[in-house]
Structure 1
């Protein structure tokens, strides 16, 4: 993808994040955009690759492109935002971005199965969605998940996701991540 097309794609993604980003992030007292920026900041601060920073920034875009997202949750159904978001992002990004996005919910199920204290640290909303998403993995699911490519990236993304729910946290503006997205775009 040439530089001009990358810039247009980034502008479109930023518009999507900005347009829906002022919505409340499911009762966690932060907006969708604030959550995305907090996750990306954590990834960047740990020295993650630009592709993983991009995944952290965009991991919940499936919530923003699904007009029925909130109604689905209210009906006690799982909208599979991680799959919707990954498929949407596949038109521009490779698996270094899309696979961790697609697996970040499975990573929550994995972590709740292997770390007893992990569940206790989840927000109320995250515990509610965990139940809709199938609950903690059983042993066979754990083994299957551990063998997946990008498993470690998905777990890192999940931990940033859990840590990205701090009301009023100071974060760089969205434009700070433009260089990361330029590198991550194929």
Structure 2
């Protein structure tokens, strides 16, 4: 079965659409890291699952970088001189089908890096070279005013959690389940949200 076009997405085929993206684009280089895009997202989801996180957090971690695949601006590279806002692109694709806890984590995972850099003095030293480069493009650590505003996020704890899982998913050779392992979970989260939202 061919993947549905973005304009024809429904709660019944969004998971197939996402699976198709992973299959076609997942082997692409991940921002100068020692893993592919798919390996990075699958590692984060696997770690979340191993650590007993709720399904919404596992799903958010799995999909946090989906905007790299769906953004008309293309994926990040170490030669970039401006940000491409993949988090916005990803949130746009997911917002009709996933609850706000998922879409908030996707939309805010870039801001979360800036937030943690401003609030945790040890965090910057743990970032990879590629993550430091993208941080510069994304505005650097937050100011005190930005921190205060960001802390008003209703899903702040979950957003920060997904950011840490994002950072952990960059290990060359880590064995993880494939995307198909998460498809039933994705569908459950979609069905619960779309049912509660009346469609």
Normalised to the residue count of structure 1, the TM-score between the two structures is 0.92
Structure 2 distance, partners of 1:85, 1:120, is: 27
Tell me if structure 2 keeps the 8 A contact 1:21–1:32.
Answer: yes
TM-fit CA distance, 1:133: 0.4
- 1:54-73 equivalence runs, <5 A: 54-70=59-75
Tell me if structure 2 keeps the 8 A contact 1:97–1:184.
Answer: no
Match of 2:88 among 83, 92, 96: 83
Structure 2 unmatched ranges of 5 or more: 1-9, 195-199
Q: Give the match for residue 25 of structure 2.
A: 20
Tell me if structure 1 keeps the 8 A contact 2:69–2:75.
Answer: no
Structure 1 unmatched ranges of 5 or more: none
Higher relative contact order (CA 8 A, sep 6+): 1
Structure 1 distance, partners of 2:137, 2:45, is: 26
Normalised to the residue count of structure 2, the TM-score between the two structures is 0.86
**Structure (1 or 2) with the greater helix fraction:** 1
Q: Please state if 1:45 is matched with 2:67.
A: no
Structure 1 distance, partners of 2:78, 2:32, is: 12
Structure 2 distance, partners of 1:122, 1:182, is: 33
